[in-house]
């Protein structure tokens, strides 16, 4: 018997965890779906509102970006923060820790539910909600007052904005690991703290970020003291996005390693 | 290189299998505790250099005052807490590593437990496959014996009913080490009798059962060895037979010098005294417990 990882045992563990975590996950998903629909219903342009605001030849639906970010952050962080909450309650923790699966498998199940399933299902739910409302807008476009629509046909007016090459998805790849980093932080919080996991993790992250930000500011100020800017070569965006990608990936791995160690050392 | 790694891995697997087979087929010390030091804070130790061996084929009764460390000792054995120093060996494994090969051989029934809001069938479907020897028929029989409504959701059951479900599940896993912390708490009077009957029938030569309790009368005629914890160590570890060979439990009218410990009763005194004449008497666990706590020094030479 392999005491570190066994695919059958891992499958059994995922199924077992679904019994507890599945309800939280499904309920959260329903709430998120409701919130997204609510935001879309209240913000989407209606023919009765008159001329929709246009942005470069497309109907402007900029409300989607902050909604995507904020609702997504709340969903994945709350989900990750509630995964190991059982370990904070003795009666539940004993049953969980005594389940015949390795610590590594228990940790991997946590990563699967919070990172893979959590982020994946949010993207899916958001995409579906967005697609339905964009379809609806495209189909009802004729009801809007006449408007100059530039080179685009009415049928593609909204849908095009979603998957438009002008969005430059390349640059957003730099942020691909940011949600992973968020889930890894809150997953650690759910193992580390016994109560009030979410608040405590959020406060800890806020304090850590403030300290790190202040230290960076001090260092940069010190390094730039008595120096004169002699070139203006512009910002290297690509480099910045690469740094964001690599650093968020490294931080995620770092948090996962600590989570694994904390899980291994967990005592009741 | 790859084949070498595979070979090492296979050897490890074979070693684990052999260790388990050895522990499950021979009368050996299933649990070996050597110089165990444990405490929830460094300044307040619960166990100081505790050493003890527990073998298969026995039902141990773990007794002690509140705070003596009964539950903590059981948690140490199950790998739920970690010792500060010393070694703890359970069936050849270090329980602190929480390896699946050991976990599937341990049935731990805690005093406080949680069961999800599902039906028994869903619970079994999710948890039983982890135990390759899980006996579904035996589980069904135990539920029937405990008179558990199978179709009811676990969350809607009373504490006693839940406890019976968790005991039935634990026994049906066919685990070789059964650890129970206050298993009779919350059970009604008929259920306590059922519990004793079931535990007696669950005892096999390859199993080791450890039951911690305050209610010593609940374990009457069930345990074969008494372990008593006091003052950070094992105050007594002796089989019922050994105790009744060395001590006699009697009702007496007056207390004399031969009596080690006595408690007043309606018709005189309940007394414990050395069994010089090989008299047969029934072990009074409550009396023994109080006697050991009160006269520890007098008993020590008898059981060393």
Name the domain boundary from B202, B230, B258. B230
Establish if B44 belongs to a structural domain: yes
Establish if A194 touches chain B: CB-CB under 8 angstroms.
no
Structural domain total, chain A: 1
Burial class of residue A189, CB neighbours in 10 A (0-12, 13-18, 19+): buried
- Are A101 and B80 an interchain contact pair (Cβ–Cβ within 8 Å)? no
pLDDT of residue B55: 95
Q: How far apart are CA A100 and CA B177, in angstroms?
A: 14
Cα-flanking dihedrals φ and ψ of residue A130, to 5°? -65, -45
User: How long, in residues, is chain A?
Assistant: 268
From B111, B118, B119, B124, select the one nearest B159 (Cα to Cα): B111
Q: How far apart are CA A251 and CA A257, in angstroms?
A: 10
Do B262 and B202 lie in one domain? The reply is no
Show Cβ contacts of residue A230 under 8 Å, excluding neighbours closer than 6 positions.
none
Name the domain boundary from B170, B199, B230. B230
Establish if A163 touches chain B: CB-CB under 8 angstroms.
no
Token representation of residue B301: 């030479």
Q: Considering only alpha carbons, which residue of chain A is nearest residue B132?
A: A100
- Are B130 and A99 an interchain contact pair (Cβ–Cβ within 8 Å)? yes
A30 pLDDT exceeds 90?
Answer: yes
Pairing of strands B247-252, B58-64: unpaired
Token representation of residue A237: 């965006």
- Are A1 and B13 an interchain contact pair (Cβ–Cβ within 8 Å)? yes
The CA angle B25-B29-B32, to the nearest 5 degrees, is: 140
Compute the average pLDDT of residues A148-169: 48
Q: Considering only alpha carbons, which residue of chain B is nearest residue A98?
A: B103
CA distance A16 to chain B (A): 5
Pairing of strands B225-230, B247-252: unpaired
DSSP secondary structure letter of residue A41? H
Least confident of A3-17, A26-40, B268-282: B268-282
Question: What 3-state class would DSSP assign to B137?
Answer: helix
More confidently predicted of B109 and A64: B109
DSSP secondary structure letter of residue B254? S
Establish if B3 belongs to a structural domain: no
From B242, B218, B171, select the one nearest B62 (Cα to Cα): B218
More confidently predicted of A20 and B174: B174
- Are B101 and A97 an interchain contact pair (Cβ–Cβ within 8 Å)? no
B222-238: per-residue pLDDT in tens? Answer: 999 999 999 889 999 99
Establish if B104 touches chain A: CB-CB under 8 angstroms.
yes
- What residues make up the domain containing B289? 240-303
B154 pLDDT exceeds 70?
Answer: yes
More confidently predicted of B266 and B80: B80
B297 pLDDT exceeds 60?
Answer: yes
Helix (H) or strand (E) holding A54: strand A54-55
Establish if A84 belongs to a structural domain: yes
From B151, B3, B184, B98, select the one nearest A267 (Cα to Cα): B98
- What residues make up the domain containing A204? 7-265
A215: number of Cβ within 10 Å: 10
More confidently predicted of A232 and A65: A65
Structural domain total, chain B: 2
A94-106: per-residue pLDDT in tens? Answer: 999 999 999 999 9
Least confident of A131-135, B7-11, B74-78, B111-115: B7-11
Show Cβ contacts of residue B77 under 8 Å, excluding neighbours closer than 6 positions.
B31, B88, B90, B95, B177, B179, B210
Q: What is chain B's mean pLDDT, rounded? A: 90
CB nearest B100 (choices: A9, A92, A268): A9
pLDDT of residue B186: 85
Do B63 and B158 lie in one domain? The reply is yes
Do B271 and B290 lie in one domain? The reply is yes
Q: Considering only alpha carbons, which residue of chain A is nearest residue B72?
A: A268
pLDDT of residue B218: 84
- Are B127 and A99 an interchain contact pair (Cβ–Cβ within 8 Å)? yes
Cα-flanking dihedrals φ and ψ of residue A214, to 5°? -65, -40
Establish if A2 belongs to a structural domain: no
From A96, A107, A105, A106, select the one nearest A2 (Cα to Cα): A105
Do B204 and B154 lie in one domain? The reply is yes
CA distance B109 to chain A (A): 9
Which residues of chain B does A98 touch, with a Cβ-Cβ cutoff of 8 Å? Answer: 78, 80, 103, 106, 108
Do B94 and B20 lie in one domain? The reply is yes
For residue B37, the cross-strand partners are: B85
A7 pLDDT exceeds 90?
Answer: yes
Question: What 3-state class would DSSP assign to A45?
Answer: coil
CB nearest B81 (choices: A9, A99, A267): A267
From B12, B91, B86, B15, select the one nearest B46 (Cα to Cα): B86
pLDDT of residue A163: 44
B25 pLDDT exceeds 90?
Answer: no
Compute the average pLDDT of residues A18-25: 90
pLDDT of residue A166: 47
The CA angle A137-A142-A144, to the nearest 5 degrees, is: 75
Question: What 3-state class would DSSP assign to A184?
Answer: helix
From B199, B202, B228, select the one nearest B216 (Cα to Cα): B228
Q: What is the DSSP string of B140-173?
A: HHHHHHHT--TTSBGGGS-HHHHHHHHHHHHHHT
A117-140: per-residue pLDDT in tens? Answer: 999 999 999 999 988 888 888 777
Q: How far apart are CA A69 and CA B168, in angstroms?
A: 48
CA distance B227 to chain A (A): 23
Q: Which of A134-138, A141-145, A182-186, B155-159 has the highest mean pLDDT?
A: A182-186
Do B15 and B126 lie in one domain? The reply is yes
Establish if B41 touches chain A: CB-CB under 8 angstroms.
no
pLDDT of residue A139: 79
Dihedral-angle region of residue A50 (phi above 0 means left; psi in -120 to 50 means alpha; beta otherwise): left
Name the domain boundary from B188, B211, B230. B230
User: How long, in residues, is chain B?
Assistant: 304
Compute the average pLDDT of residues B58-83: 95
Least confident of A62-66, B48-52, B66-70, B127-131: A62-66
Establish if B131 touches chain A: CB-CB under 8 angstroms.
yes
Establish if B154 touches chain A: CB-CB under 8 angstroms.
no
- Are B110 and A9 an interchain contact pair (Cβ–Cβ within 8 Å)? no
Burial class of residue B256, CB neighbours in 10 A (0-12, 13-18, 19+): exposed
Q: Which of A146-150, B215-219, B273-277 has the highest mean pLDDT?
A: B273-277
pLDDT of residue A154: 46
From A267, A255, A226, A265, select the one nearest A110 (Cα to Cα): A255
CA distance A116 to chain B (A): 22
Least confident of A253-267, B14-28, B29-43: B14-28
Do B148 and B258 lie in one domain? The reply is no
Per 3-state DSSP, chain A is made up of helix, strand and coil in percentages (nearest 5) of 75, 0, 25
Establish if A1 belongs to a structural domain: no
From B83, B78, B64, select the one nearest B208 (Cα to Cα): B78
A167 pLDDT exceeds 60?
Answer: no
From B123, B88, B125, select the one nearest B106 (Cα to Cα): B88
A192-242: per-residue pLDDT in tens? Answer: 999 999 999 999 999 999 999 999 999 988 888 877 766 665 567 778 888
B101 pLDDT exceeds 80?
Answer: yes
Question: How crowded is the C-beta side of A29, counted as CA atoms within 13 Å?
Answer: 18
Do B89 and B142 lie in one domain? The reply is yes
Do B179 and B137 lie in one domain? The reply is yes
B94 pLDDT exceeds 50?
Answer: yes
- Are A94 and B130 an interchain contact pair (Cβ–Cβ within 8 Å)? no
Q: State how far the alpha carbon of A176 is from the alpha carbons of A179, A242, B67, in Å.
A: 7, 11, 52
pLDDT of residue A159: 46
Do B225 and B245 lie in one domain? The reply is no
Do B218 and B248 lie in one domain? The reply is no
- Are A103 and B98 an interchain contact pair (Cβ–Cβ within 8 Å)? yes
A251 pLDDT exceeds 90?
Answer: yes
Q: How confident is the model at residue A145 (pLDDT cuts 50, 70, 90)?
A: low
Establish if B226 belongs to a structural domain: yes
Answer for the pair B270, B262: CB distance below 8 angstroms, yes or no.
Answer: yes
CB nearest A94 (choices: B113, B122, B123): B113
Do B162 and B281 lie in one domain? The reply is no
Establish if B80 touches chain A: CB-CB under 8 angstroms.
yes
């Amino acid at each position: 018997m392999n005491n570190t990882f066994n695919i059958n045992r891992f499958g059994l563990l995922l199924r077992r965890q679904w019994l507890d975590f599945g309800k939280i996950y499904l309920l959260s998903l329903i709430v998120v779906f409701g919130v997204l629909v609510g935001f879309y219903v209240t913000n989407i342009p209606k023919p009765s509102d008159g001329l929709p605001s246009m942005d470069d030849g497309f109907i402007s639906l900029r409300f989607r970006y902050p909604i995507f970010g904020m609702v997504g952050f709340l969903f994945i962080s709350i989900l990750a923060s509630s995964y190991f909450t059982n370990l904070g309650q003795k009666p539940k923790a004993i049953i969980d820790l005594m389940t015949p699966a390795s610590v590594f498998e228990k940790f991997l199940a946590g990563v699967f539910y919070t990172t893979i399933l959590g982020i994946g299902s949010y993207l899916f739910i958001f995409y579906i909600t967005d697609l339905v409302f964009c379809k609806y807008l495209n189909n009802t476009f004729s009801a809007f007052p006449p408007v100059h629509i530039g080179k685009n046909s009415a049928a593609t007016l909204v849908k095009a904005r979603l998957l438009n090459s002008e969005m430059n998805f390349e640059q957003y790849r730099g942020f691909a690991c940011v949600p992973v980093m968020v889930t890894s932080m809150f997953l650690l919080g759910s193992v580390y703290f016994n109560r009030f996991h979410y608040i405590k993790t959020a406060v800890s992250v806020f304090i850590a970020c403030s300290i790190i930000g202040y230290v960076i500011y001090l260092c940069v100020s010190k390094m730039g003291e008595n120096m004169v800017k002699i070139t203006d070569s512009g910002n290297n965006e690509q480099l910045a996005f690469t740094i964001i990608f690599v650093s968020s990936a490294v931080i995620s791995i770092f948090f996962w390693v600590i989570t694994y160690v904390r899980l291994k050392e967990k005592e009741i | 290189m790859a084949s070498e790694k595979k070979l090492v891995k296979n050897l490890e697997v074979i070693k684990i299998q052999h260790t388990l087979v050895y522990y499950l087929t021979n009368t050996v010390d299933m649990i070996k505790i050597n110089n165990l030091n444990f405490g929830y804070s460094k300044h307040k130790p619960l166990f100081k250099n505790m050493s003890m061996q527990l073998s298969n084929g026995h039902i141990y009764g773990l007794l002690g005052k509140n705070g003596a460390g009964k539950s903590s000792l059981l948690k140490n054995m199950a790998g739920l807490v970690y010792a500060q120093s010393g070694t703890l060996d359970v069936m050849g494994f270090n329980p602190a590593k929480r390896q699946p090969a050991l976990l599937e051989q341990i049935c731990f029934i805690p005093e406080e437990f949680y069961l999800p809001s599902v039906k028994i069938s869903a619970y079994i479907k999710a948890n039983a496959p982890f135990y390759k020897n899980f006996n579904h028929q035996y589980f069904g029989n135990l539920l029937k014996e405990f008179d558990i409504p199978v179709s009811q959701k676990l969350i809607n059951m009373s504490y006693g009913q839940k406890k019976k479900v968790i005991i039935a599940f634990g026994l049906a896993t066919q685990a070789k080490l059964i650890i129970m912390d206050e298993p009779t708490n919350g059970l009604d009077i008929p259920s306590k009798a059922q519990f004793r009957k079931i535990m007696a029938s669950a005892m096999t030569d390859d199993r080791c059962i450890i039951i911690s309790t305050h209610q010593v009368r609940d374990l009457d005629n069930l345990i074969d060895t008494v372990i008593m914890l006091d003052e950070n160590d094992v105050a007594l570890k002796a089989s019922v037979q050994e105790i009744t060979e060395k001590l006699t439990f009697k009702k007496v009218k007056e207390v004399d010098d031969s009596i080690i410990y006595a408690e007043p009763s309606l018709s005189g005194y309940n007394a414990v005294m050395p069994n010089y004449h090989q008299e047969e008497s029934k072990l009074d666990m409550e009396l023994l417990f109080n006697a050991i706590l009160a006269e520890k020094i007098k008993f020590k030479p008898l059981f060393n």
